[in-house]
Amino acid sequence: MHWITALAVFFALAVMWGSTLNSASLFITPMQASLGATRAEMVIGVTVKGVGSIIGSFFCANILKRLKVLRVLRIGGLLLVGSVFALSLVQNISQYYLVLAIQSIVISVGGYIPMSIIIQNWFEKKTPVVMGIAFMGSGFGGIIYNWLGGIWIPRLGWRQTYVLFSIITLVVLLITLSIVRSTPFHFGLRPLGAEEGNEVKNESGEQKSLAGAKIKEELKSARFWMLLLAIFLISMGSDALFYNVSPHLIDTGYS
């Protein structure tokens, strides 16, 4: 069940990221024409997503303290599917911004953070390796959904494509989140590597000590702000490229 859980996380992230963030650039040009918006107004949606991500990340810890991880994932999954379907119904740019804001909040709360908690609960040894493999699902989802979007949007239109995306996402999440459990103890199992004794305990202890840094102390440290600046600059550069390349290629005649 350990590797089945990791595989379920892989596919859950594939549909969560593939149907939203990783395929969003394909929809900018057709939605722009349909909504009567400018390219600048459409790209402001990226800023809206960023604000939503900040809000979701800020409240994520408090939500996870009050609700079980699996419940957060399941509620978040349903809301995510609803947001993808809602994009097929938007009639103006304000509605577009509203749906994107809700969607980004849901992804921030019900995405990487609860998924990483599940992986850590199931794997005591080589947790970073397993987490990296499982989180590759987000990139895999981008491959699949961009491929499907490239076929369906010209043939069916962007609204119908979003409907199909929401159906695919719903089906996969129903399957994967029905398999996943927050800990292996639900199946009478132990975390993978837990039976290997002291070596695993030492590794686990080291991870706990690293994870126990106090927020107040970190806010005063230069390394925290340098890390924050690095993430900001990486995101600013990659997002600007990510959300503009596909619309530009479509505008110049590529399909």
CATH value at residue 176: 1.20.1250.20
pLDDT category of residue 208 using cuts at 50, 70 and 90: very low
Identify whether 77 is part of a domain.
Answer: yes
Identify whether 149 is part of a domain.
Answer: yes
Identify whether 165 is part of a domain.
Answer: yes
Number of domains in the chain: 1
Rounded distance between C-alpha atoms, residue 102 and residue 104, angstroms: 6
Share above pLDDT 70 across residues of the chain, in percent, rounded to a whole number: 84
Identify whether 204 is part of a domain.
Answer: yes
Share above pLDDT 90 across residues of the chain, in percent, rounded to a whole number: 40
pLDDT category of residue 213 using cuts at 50, 70 and 90: low
Residue 137 makes CB contacts below 8 A (sequence gap 6+) with: 9, 10, 11, 12, 13, 14, 17
Identify whether 231 is part of a domain.
Answer: no
pLDDT at 248: 62
Identify whether 239 is part of a domain.
Answer: no
Identify whether 148 is part of a domain.
Answer: yes
Mean pLDDT of 132-151: 92
Mean pLDDT of 4-14: 93
**Global pTM?**
0.81
pLDDT, tens only, 20-35? 988 988 899 999 999 9
Identify whether 253 is part of a domain.
Answer: no
Quote the mean pLDDT of the chain.
84
Structural domain of residue 198, as residue ranges? 2-212
Is the pLDDT assigned to residue 247 strictly greater than 80?
Answer: no
